[in-house]
Amino acid sequence: MRLLVILLSFLTIPIINAQPLDARLAPLASKSLLLDIIEINQSKLVAVGERGHILLSSDGVDWQQAQVPVQVTLTAVYFIDEMHGWAVGHDATILSSKDGGVSWQVQQHLPEVEKPLLDVLFFDRNTGVAVGAYGLFYRTNDGGQHWTIEYHNEFLYPEDQAYLAELKLDDEVAYLDEQSSILPHFNRVVADGRTLYLAGELGLIAKSNNFGVSWQRLDEIYPGSFYDIDRTQEGNLVVVGLRGHIFRSLKNGTPWQASDSHVTALLSSIVLSDDQRVFILGNNGVLLESRDDGATFTKHVQKDGKALIAGVWYKNKIIAVSDVGIKTINITK
């Protein structure tokens, strides 16, 4: 998940009653701002974006619009299997689907929070986390029937931890308010077996070996924001972020080596192909390709210059989402 998301994070649209949506609206929705996409077993694509749009496709060409009970901007989507999925977005909204994304139900909608969730991850059908701006972190152990907020103050600098401890003694209300705004944005959370990795604002890279109950912050390698992190086909970690920064680790996060991106654009998404290539998507139509596991990259630029916000490898091509909807990108082998 992405700078465009952060810029939009305080734009809210009120919740509405669920109504069946006409599939004929899909051509319009598929050209609107979309912020995340996932492929499910190479048989289905699900994309989410502004105004609560959720789109489904089996071929990446024809899209249908799902029945969605909200009109808030949705920022991320995740499916644990072909039927069970979750989407998150502004107003700390969490939606769930049990029919492969055809219809969705509200599990959480908190407009009073006034912060967006930016990513969601499930470990099985019952256990998952949702993360977002200013350290938002929710956990469920019952498939999303109940979500509990957590505050991970281990990401604060010692002086900020001391400040919060003193504030808690003096003013409980002010402490709770400050605690909910002092943490960095959590932009992306991914699972690598039993290990979780978190990427975020202010150079945040962290890992957890207990499903996010506690976190170990990795070495600070860059003070700017990171928007995606993933393990490559050869088992190395790659993280991407502001101003074209790409870092690669051969030893699970220590040390990190910089890879030259040849660009200064924000890099928002890592896409792994099934033929051992690593792609990175970014603003200004930037598309980077690596054939050596992320050590070096070749630059491709889409002619329209539109931001490529997220993408997946699907049937030998990249299906990406952008501020003008779905984009299909063919890259020769």
Domains in the chain with CATH codes: 1-141 (2.120.10.30)
- Cα(291)–Cα(117) distance, rounded to whole angstroms? 33
Share of residues in the chain with pLDDT > 70 (%):
92
* 3-state SS, one letter per residue, for the chain: CCHHHHHCCCCCCCCCCCCCCCHHHHHHHCCCCEEEEEEECCCEEEEEEHHHCEEEECCCCCCEECECCCCCCEEEEEECCCCCEEEEECCCEEEEECCCCCECEEEECCHHHCCCEEEEEECCCCCEEEEEHHHCEEEECCCCCCCEECCCHHHCCHHHHHHHHHHHHHCHHHHHHHHHHHCCCEEEEEEECCEEEEEECCCCEEEECCCCCCCEECCCCCCCCEEEEEECCCCCEEEEEHHHCEEEECCCCCCCEEECCCCCCCEEEEEECCCCCEEEEEHHHEEEEECCCCCCCEEEECCCCCCEEEEEECCCCEEEEECCEEEEECCCC
Model pTM greater than 0.85?
yes
Query: At 27, is the pLDDT very low, low, confident or very high (cuts 50, 70, 90)?
Result: low
Task: Tell whether the model's pLDDT for residue 60 goes beyond 60.
Answer: yes
Q: What is the mean pLDDT of residues 8-37?
A: 57
Q: Which residue, chain included where needed, has tokens 């600098």?
A: 157
Contacts for 193 with CB less than 8 Å, ≥ 6 apart: none
pLDDT at residue 12 in the model: 37
CA dihedral 269, 199, 135, 263 (to 10 degrees): -60
pLDDT tens digits for range 129-153: 999 999 999 999 999 999 999 999 9
Q: What is the mean pLDDT of residues 178-194?
A: 92
Task: Tell whether the model's pLDDT for residue 5 goes beyond 50.
Answer: no
Taking the alpha carbons of 152, 158, 164, 169 in that order, is the dihedral positive or negative?
positive
pLDDT tens digits for range 239-276: 999 999 999 999 777 899 999 999 999 999 999 999 99
pLDDT at residue 173 in the model: 87
Q: Which two tokens stand for residue 204?
A: 């945040």
pLDDT at residue 172 in the model: 86
Residue 293, Cα to own-chain centre: how many angstroms? 22
